[in-house]
A and B are shown apart, each in its own frame.
Chain A
Amino acid sequence: MSPQIALHDPIFRAYFFIVLISLAAGGAVLSFLRVALKKETASMFRTYWSWLVIAGVGLLVVFAGRIPTIVGVTLLGIYAFKEFARASGLYRDWWLTGAVYAGIVTVGIASVMSHPRGEEPGTGWYGFFAAAPVFAIALILLIPILRNRARGELQRMSLAIVGFIYIGWMFGHLGFLANAVNAYGFLCYIIFATALSDVSAFTFGKIFGRHPLRSEISPNKTWEGALGALAISMILPWLLRFSFPFFGARQLILTGLIVGIGGQLGDLSISVIKRDIGTKDMAATIPGHGGILDRIDSLIYAAPLFMHMAGYYYPLR
């Protein structure tokens, strides 16, 4: 991955136009709702403007190359963990938050560097990347011992471990995907597909939503929205088959399931955390979306599953 390659890569160029067209179509639909049907669309437009910024930044980072992508994913992970740490109160413990930040940076470094003895193909040190949780959890468990403290430490250690594994390491898989031979296809597809799945869940829920999906967790999500998003996600791999021309029917179905179900499970799992903490959003960083963590929640769940599915059938690098 590099700007020169991206410029001539048919997959990246195709996604550039797909994103452009999708945003234009979304804008057109919203304008139609507002002008022709006189609907109240102010909050949807706020979300839409933020989507424009997210799409622009995302395309730019992937265009810039492998290392910018990994650095970008690492920074997003750090910021998302910061939001989680603030919302859960863990941020008051500098030692544990510091350990998690160090862990997230380590995951980024393992994705950037190559195997020191050249025993792995291509870039990225997968062995260390996959073993990162061992070291991070070892460090997190060490901290109360070093500080000679026990009171309330189980809660803080648990929060730190969930924060690292879920937000740091699992989301870090997105960065590691930049090492794949088919990096443009994998990255662009998984990011675009989870975003589209989120939007279709919202849209289907808004139009057809009757039956609450998980009333105790997220009162606004409906079965209709979830099934609509699943349907779109199942069709999309076939429509965008050029992203992974070597995928057979089984891989395409799995891709659809991972994005369609996994993405919504990611959304719901963050909702569980928010519900227990008692906050509506993790932060208010992105107007109309909530926090960074609220935006990337489906990607956190879907990206690692997708990477391991693809890696199981075909060599990633």
Chain B
Amino acid sequence: MRKWRYDSPNDVERTPLERLRQFPREPDMLVYGLRSLGALIIRALLRVYHRFEIIGHENLRTNRSFVIVANHCSHLDTLCLLAALPLRKLHRAFPAAASDYFFQSVSRLWIAAVVVNALPFARQVRVRQSLSLCQDMLGNPGTILIIFPEGTRSTTGEIREFKSGIGALVAGRDVAVVPCFIDGSFRAWPKGRRLPRPGKVRLIVGSPRTFRDRGADKIDICAISAELREAVNELRHENGSH
């Protein structure tokens, strides 16, 4: 009789907390179930509480790996972008989340790992390592990375400078980048407020683009970041932000 091969994950003897911290994760059905259930509840709440609306939904329809970049001024932003994806792609979508903020306290860690499926991004130290982690993830087909290139939530609602990391991630690579603008999340749930208040939130999805034929030197990288910021800003003006 041939020997059975047990295909166990590498984290069997890790504590639950260590398992939440590790990335990539090895989730099982219960985690997928909880995440899908959470996503349904979040979608329903967004619809009812924030009259959530998506413009340009067709720009997200692809089975290839791609990166979503968006402005960031609220925790709602991640939830809105996740709500725009089909449920079956949810488990392959990774919002990059600051590891110094989301991967410390247990409750935030649980939400980040189970509900949001966040990718821990070390924004202060080891940025290069985090970027190469992002690149590895994009190598798997069907991966969706959600990145807020401003690096933190804006406290004024204005779009801040995009960090150069996003440029380095996509320069010279055949990866589609989808710029998005989220309108209304700043009014609904600004930084520092405990809970969101009702208010309309819209997600405007721009058309995808690639930076395949761009070099990876410093000037190009910064130019790409600036272009992407411009693209997000355009979406804002085209769709009559108020």
List residues of chain A with CB under 8 Å of any chain B CB. 78, 82, 85-89, 91-92, 94, 97-98, 101, 155, 276-285, 287
| Cα-based distance from A241 to B167 in the complex (angstroms) | 75
Q: Is B6 within 8 A of A88, CB to CB? A: yes
Any chain A CB within 8 A of the CB of B192?
A: no
Known A-B contacts A282-B12, A284-B15, A285-B16; the reply to A91 vs B6 at CB < 8 A is no
Contacts of B9 in A (CB 8 A): 86, 89, 91
Q: Is A101 within 8 A of B8, CB to CB? A: no
Known A-B contacts A88-B6, A155-B4; the reply to A98 vs B29 at CB < 8 A is yes
The residue in chain A whose Cβ has the minimal distance to the Cβ of B2 is: A155
Q: Which of B7, B16, B29 contacts A89 (CB 8 A)?
A: B7
Q: Is A82 within 8 A of B28, CB to CB? A: yes
Contacts of A283 in B (CB 8 A): 12-13
Q: Is B12 within 8 A of A82, CB to CB? A: no
CB contacts under 8 Å to A, within B1-26, are 4-9, 12-16, 18, 26
Q: Is B6 within 8 A of A277, CB to CB? A: yes
Contacts of B5 in A (CB 8 A): 89
Any chain A CB within 8 A of the CB of B30?
A: yes
- The smallest beta-carbon distance between B28 and chain A, in angstroms, is 4
Known A-B contacts A86-B8, A92-B7; the reply to A101 vs B15 at CB < 8 A is no
- The smallest beta-carbon distance between A218 and chain B, in angstroms, is 16
- Residues of B in contact with A, size category: 10 to 19
- The smallest beta-carbon distance between A202 and chain B, in angstroms, is 20
The residue in chain A whose Cβ has the minimal distance to the Cβ of B17 is: A284
The residue in chain B whose Cβ has the minimal distance to the Cβ of A277 is: B6
Known: A97-B28, A279-B13, A285-B16. 15 other contacts (CB 8 A): A82-B30, A86-B26, A87-B8, A87-B12, A89-B6, A91-B9, A101-B29, A277-B6, A279-B12, A281-B12, A282-B12, A283-B13, A284-B13, A284-B14, A284-B16
Q: Which of A86, A101, A281 has the most CB of B within 10 A?
A: A86
Contacts of A86 in B (CB 8 A): 8-9, 12, 26, 28
| Cα-based distance from A287 to B12 in the complex (angstroms) | 14
Known A-B contacts A280-B13, A285-B15, A287-B15; the reply to A87 vs B29 at CB < 8 A is no
Contacts of A98 in B (CB 8 A): 29
List residues of chain B with CB under 8 Å of any chain A CB. 4-9, 12-16, 18, 26, 28-30, 32
| Cα-based distance from A287 to B18 in the complex (angstroms) | 13
Top 9 A-B residue pairs of the complex, sorted by shortest distance between their CB atoms: A89-B7, A91-B28, A284-B15, A89-B6, A277-B6, A89-B8, A87-B12, A97-B29, A279-B12
Contacts of B28 in A (CB 8 A): 82, 85-86, 91, 97
Contacts of B12 in A (CB 8 A): 86-87, 279, 281-283
Contacts of A280 in B (CB 8 A): 13
- The smallest beta-carbon distance between B86 and chain A, in angstroms, is 18
What are 27 A-to-B residue pairs whose CB atoms are below 8 Å?
A: A78-B30, A82-B28, A85-B28, A86-B8, A86-B12, A87-B6, A87-B8, A88-B8, A89-B9, A91-B9, A94-B29, A101-B29, A276-B6, A277-B8, A278-B6, A279-B12, A279-B13, A280-B13, A281-B13, A282-B12, A284-B13, A284-B14, A284-B15, A284-B16, A284-B18, A285-B16, A287-B15
Contacts of A282 in B (CB 8 A): 12
Contacts of A284 in B (CB 8 A): 13-16, 18
| Cα-based distance from A284 to B9 in the complex (angstroms) | 14
Contacts of A277 in B (CB 8 A): 6, 8
Contacts of A78 in B (CB 8 A): 30
The residue in chain B whose Cβ has the minimal distance to the Cβ of A94 is: B29
| Cα-based distance from A94 to B16 in the complex (angstroms) | 21
| Cα-based distance from A27 to B240 in the complex (angstroms) | 69
Contacts of B7 in A (CB 8 A): 89, 92
| Cα-based distance from A283 to B11 in the complex (angstroms) | 8
Contacts of A97 in B (CB 8 A): 28-29
- The smallest beta-carbon distance between A111 and chain B, in angstroms, is 21
- The smallest beta-carbon distance between A198 and chain B, in angstroms, is 20
- The smallest beta-carbon distance between B1 and chain A, in angstroms, is 11
The residue in chain A whose Cβ has the minimal distance to the Cβ of B3 is: A276
- The smallest beta-carbon distance between A205 and chain B, in angstroms, is 22
Contacts of B26 in A (CB 8 A): 86
The residue in chain B whose Cβ has the minimal distance to the Cβ of A285 is: B16
| Cα-based distance from A94 to B30 in the complex (angstroms) | 10
The residue in chain B whose Cβ has the minimal distance to the Cβ of A95 is: B29
- The smallest beta-carbon distance between B14 and chain A, in angstroms, is 6
| Cα-based distance from A97 to B32 in the complex (angstroms) | 13
| Cα-based distance from A276 to B8 in the complex (angstroms) | 12
- The smallest beta-carbon distance between A43 and chain B, in angstroms, is 15
Contacts of A155 in B (CB 8 A): 4
- The smallest beta-carbon distance between A271 and chain B, in angstroms, is 15
- The smallest beta-carbon distance between B207 and chain A, in angstroms, is 35
Q: Which of B7, B9, B14 has the most CB of A within 10 A?
A: B7
